[in-house]
Amino acid sequence: MRITKIEKKKHLYLLEVDGQDSLYITEDTIVRFMLSKGKEITEQEFRELRDFAQFSYGKNLALYYLSFKQRTKKEVSDYLKKYEIEENNIVKIVTVLEEEKWLDDGNYVDSYVRQNALNGDKGPAMIRQKLMQKGIPKPLIDKRLAEEDFSELAGKIGEKLVGRYQRKLPLRALQDKVVQGLMGKGFSYETAKQSLGQLELVADEENEDDLIAKELDKQYRKYSRKYEGYELKQRLIQALARRGYDFDRIQTVLRDYL
């Protein structure tokens, strides 16, 4: 077979060969196989250059993808699949990129955890979930997480939660909100409780009086339509208790209200 045409098309070259479909190849393919117009090649050579052309094209795509930010092996593999790179070439590309240090899932995990400690808000469980979604093996993630102390980060997030809800909730509800908020971010119950203890929260009596008065008005409007007397009082006690007010405060405010 004879090469009848090699023409540059943007980032690739159009290759035409007698008796074969035309295909796009990379400059690396031209150099590797020393291709030129008029050169005679065998069917075996054509198959080899076609396979290498896709490998080379796929590798260039992967390097472009990696130029924006660090990626995992799975992310690169998924990206190449979108461009219909064959599976065997994807495996080879990922292997080569690992050897050349473009891909390193262990380093990715380390960077992710360090960045989260600096300006993130994720606890170990959420980090594990996010990284596993990116195709990183759980043992690799857990090994790195075991080396990290999350207590300081949990404390910072706890402080933010207090700042957000302190004027809106009574002490008990605020404490629950901090623990639930930290657990929702992926911190363990033990870490959340430890962080809560370090915050040393105390009740703001004046604020809680205002809060319970407003809440009582709201609940009274709701339940007084259906209940009265003892049943109404019990409904109000239950509603206020669910919102974190202590029993003594509830009894005191109800004595003056009803």
pLDDT of residue 76: 98
Q: Is the pLDDT of residue 258 over 80?
A: no
Domain extent at residue 123:
105-146
Residues 9 and 63 in one domain: yes
Percentage of the chain with pLDDT > 70? 100
Alpha helices in the chain (DSSP H): 27-33, 43-66, 73-82, 87-99, 105-119, 124-133, 138-146, 151-165, 171-184, 189-199, 205-223, 229-242, 247-257
Q: What is the pLDDT of residues 106-122, one digit of tens each?
A: 999 999 999 999 999 99
Q: With bands split at pLDDT 50, 70 and 90, how would you rate the model's confidence at 42?
A: confident
Q: How many domains are there within the chain? A: 4
CA dist., res. 62 & res. 71, Å (int): 10
Q: Is the pLDDT of residue 238 over 90?
A: yes
pLDDT of residue 57: 94
Percentage of the chain with pLDDT > 90? 80
| The model's pTM | 0.82
Q: With bands split at pLDDT 50, 70 and 90, how would you rate the model's confidence at 160?
A: very high
pLDDT of residue 22: 86
Residues 7 and 92 in one domain: yes
- Report how far Cα 220 is from the mean position of its chain's Cα atoms: 43
State the distance between the two ends of the chain, measured CA to CA, in whole angstroms.
100
For residue 95, the domain's CATH number is 1.10.10.10
Q: Is the pLDDT of residue 23 over 80?
A: yes
Q: Is the pLDDT of residue 172 over 90?
A: yes
Residues 93 and 34 in one domain: yes
Residues 90 and 9 in one domain: yes
Residues 19 and 61 in one domain: yes
Q: Phi and psi dihedrals of 247, rounded to 5?
A: -60, -40
- Beta-carbon contacts of 126 under 8 Å, excluding residues fewer than 6 positions away, are 185, 186
Question: Final residue of a domain: which of 114, 129, 146?
Answer: 146
Can you read off the two tokens belonging to residue 195? 């962080």
Residues 7 and 93 in one domain: yes
pLDDT of residue 19: 78
CA dist., res. 85 & res. 29, Å (int): 16
Residues 247 and 180 in one domain: no
For residue 126, the domain's CATH number is 1.10.10
Residues 34 and 91 in one domain: yes
| CA angle (157, 160, 162) in 5-degree steps | 110
Residues 249 and 182 in one domain: no
Residue type, 90: I
The helix or strand, by DSSP H or E, that contains position 9, with its residue range, turns out to be strand 3-9
Residues 138 and 219 in one domain: no
CA dist., res. 122 & res. 12, Å (int): 43
Residues 12 and 91 in one domain: yes
Per residue in 81-91, is it b (16+ CB within 10 Å) or e — as a string? eeeebeeebbe
Residues 30 and 82 in one domain: yes
CA dist., res. 32 & res. 55, Å (int): 12
